[in-house]
Structure 1
């Protein structure tokens, strides 16, 4: 073997040995903050990674982590796994700077202030600092802000305090200023930095009380000089306890602490992925850093009962009952609605932009604290347009139709002929309708549409006492299982969010109307509105039979989405058919013979009494309009029906609301 080849082999051996000798197994500690799951199948893991010296580790990617479910590796690609660092998350870093200004710091006060200024001048992104001075009590000089000039002015305003040091009370106050929060909508971490040149001399709080207030919050303590209580500062300074002999060291110590805070903040990870698990089963999740020489693993059990499958892309306002989100949204003129975007199976942190395709109809802008939320505002009269949301990071977009339309119509004041003079041939019922009488009704607003399942669900979410199966719904929600009969718990039938809610008691309809700031219409108001300005006609559209004008006579076989048929002359939809509609009045078959001429309401009580005491009502209530299953003659504008407030019959009771002008 020649000399050159021997030399090359030796060099290679030395190089390999050198690399192996230089490489050192790393040891990382993972600190868990939050692990949660949410539909459709999203798993969120929030944690930090630090080395054994407590330094933050910020460079890791999804390739550096191993995630398993029930011992089976989760594919980063198939699960669309990605990591959000704090800059891409709704993250806030709160820092409280608590400075001792008791008389004993007199000689060092100006240098303490200069050192504190050097700290705030190194403020990092997403950080806000609050400044306190303390001697006999903590005094807030500047609340949380990222404005360096304001923080500097606050520090420079510090003057000598009193000959007493309320150290423990100041720590209690400082720790009360924030809560460490870890949720998908808000992440907040905080630190307290306390500088003192002595011990707690006031005695108004105890060390035990200060430790209890600190709890798991991060506190740095700095003791200056020889009169400090070193043991107490070490107990309180769970993030770091430092002692300085000379005030000239303080500036560098403050900057060192600030850099550590920034390093720890940068070591925050939010790992998200879409789990493949489905069904009501419990699974065990584990996460660790690949190649970590330290046994540091995050573990959590989760239930996949609410998980469901979705397609890749953007959805708007999705929910378990509306998995694919919405395709259109309605907004009142000059009002606003929120659109919540979610990207499924993206591989990067979503970056949303919002755009209106006709700014003369609606404008749209991202929420200042959450770019996934678009605020749509109707700037003009009624009309239609579209808005578009784009996720630039994942190259997805979604377009939503926006309909600007008033949900209520003003029904003008005036007289109308109520009732009928005769019944159609071969109709043997409805004699209580036969008495035409003139009625005057004040102007009022009437809902354009019957109340939908989706709208009623919002009421239930806000008023759980009215949910299916609750004590209140059992007492006042109809006989047997009639109340919300086809709902699954608190969820309406899939795909029927825009259908009218059915099997609702009069009590529940009244409760909804009150919650919405409205009321049920009187029987006279309902008939005036249903006629749509026509006089002496059987139906909202006239006298002829026409199943293209409404959902009745079983021509569809079920409820239909609101607004699917032609409106009447006042712009009201489904005044004939679809679902029965509750009215405010007590049912009295002979009421027409004794009806007041102006704003009549049947029964012994006033509208105000009924609205204030509706749960005490027990007499039969009026139903109007008929339903999808009723015959032609049962959906006439004069047809009067009734039921008890609980409802006895398995028929589709629904409602719409009215409101005084």
Structure 2
């Protein structure tokens, strides 16, 4: 009977593992046990914090002498939508040592708690891929340039950060993407390259949409591999604009869709369609993260802004939270819980850290 009970528990655990995915597909949950908390776990019941409206998914954590604890995590709501723009004063820290029956609240001011730049452990790359086939160049080039510049301004940080980069590519009917601007952290460089687009840039009036999807996915995959070397965590976004369907017929829809579906989970895919000649279903499938459509060129900037908001929110929902722990050398492993409040919503996650070697003097 005891053996049968163990089998049932094992089956239920496996069922939970494979059925409880996370709605967000730009986070690496390789260490996730199925509850969406990454390396963390649910907080102890003694804290009595209530149900989680916000999900804190711990992606990495480490300590730095003389006593700093650093936690890198992503915040999303219960629907999987990213939650950007949080500040240190919205977080509460709880610690539990071996002599504590439950957790004690740690003052965020006394512990010098802060949200720190995460460039040393996080890399975010965006690929903007533009359809510059004849139909665009002849009828909506200026609107596309204006919308693209707005996209760059919305996605790239006000202050240049090496952890946020973008590259711009374009396609027509030729086999292969054309590089308009290589990967860079410079907003000015990206804007200048867009402003330099002329109506004679393309020599092939056709549209190789599926080829553009395939190659941009390969580029994003390579960038992700390169940017996550040295224990970094990375995410990438592919944003593709077109005003029509694939005309080159060099690749099939299935070829492109398979490439997207099999891409690394840390790559997000967005599509923007313009006009009446697009296939909304195809673009929705290829833009599996999100798709938007403009009826005419006057709506183009609005649709680009809609996508740029989503791209920016995802990138800015990653936080590096750091504080100086009052625990000292000899206390061993200590439990840590972090709670965040955003309006009426709250969420928390629990982990542990070693205070070996911790002394005073942390700032």
TM-score by length of 1: 0.37
State the match for 1:36 in structure 2. Answer: 62
Cα displacement (A) at 1:199 = 4.6
The answer as to whether partners of 2:95 and 2:104 remain within 8 angstroms in 1 is yes
State the match for 2:42 in structure 1. Answer: none
- 1:183/1:220 CA distance change after superposition, 3 Å: same
Distance 2:229 2:334 in 1: 21
Q: Which ranges in structure 1 are unaligned for 5 or more consecutive residues?
A: 1-24, 313-344, 347-661
Cα displacement (A) at 1:85 = 4.0
State the match for 2:73 in structure 1. Answer: 47
Cα displacement (A) at 1:133 = 0.4
1:247 aligns with 2:286: no
- 1:151/1:62 CA distance change after superposition, 3 Å: closer
State the match for 1:642 in structure 2. Answer: none
**Higher relative CO (CA 8 A, sep ≥ 6), structure 1 or 2?**
2
The answer as to whether partners of 1:49 and 1:58 remain within 8 angstroms in 2 is no
State the match for 1:100 in structure 2. Answer: 131
Partner of 2:263: helix, strand, or coil?
A: helix
- 1:244/1:95 CA distance change after superposition, 3 Å: same
1:60 aligns with 2:87: yes
Report 1:150-189 matches (<5 A): 150-155=189-194, 156-157=196-197, 159-160=201-202, 161-163=204-206, 164-165=208-209, 166-176=211-221, 178-179=223-224, 189=235
Distance 1:248 1:78 in 2: 49
The answer as to whether partners of 1:288 and 1:298 remain within 8 angstroms in 2 is yes
How well do the aligned residues superpose, as a CA RMSD in angstroms? 4.0
The answer as to whether partners of 1:99 and 1:195 remain within 8 angstroms in 2 is yes
Distance 2:187 2:346 in 1: 42
1:84 aligns with 2:115: yes
1:208 aligns with 2:277: no
Count of residue correspondences: 288
Cα displacement (A) at 1:300 = 3.3
1:258 aligns with 2:308: yes
State the match for 2:104 in structure 1. Answer: 73
Between Structure 1 and Structure 2, whose CA radius of gyration is higher? 1
Q: State the Cα deviation string for residues 396-446 of structure 1 (Å, max 9, x = none).
A: xxxxxxxxxxxxxxxxxxxxxxxxxxxxxxxxxxxxxxxxxxxxxxxxxxx
Cα displacement (A) at 1:309 = 2.7
The answer as to whether partners of 1:58 and 1:268 remain within 8 angstroms in 2 is no
- 1:61/1:235 CA distance change after superposition, 3 Å: same
State the match for 1:221 in structure 2. Answer: 271
Partner of 1:206: helix, strand, or coil?
A: helix
State the match for 1:193 in structure 2. Answer: 239
State the match for 2:37 in structure 1. Answer: none
Report 1:103-182 matches (<5 A): 103-110=134-141, 111-122=143-154, 123-124=156-157, 125=159, 126=161, 127-135=164-172, 136-148=175-187, 150-155=189-194, 156-157=196-197, 159-160=201-202, 161-163=204-206, 164-165=208-209, 166-176=211-221, 178-179=223-224
State the match for 1:309 in structure 2. Answer: 358
Q: State the Cα deviation string for residues 91-147 of structure 1 (Å, max 9, x = none).
A: 765322111223454544413233213333554322433110023322212112354
Partner of 1:213: helix, strand, or coil?
A: coil
Q: Which ranges in structure 2 are unaligned for 5 or more consecutive residues?
A: 1-50
1:272 aligns with 2:303: no
Distance 1:176 1:238 in 2: 16
State the match for 2:338 in structure 1. Answer: 287
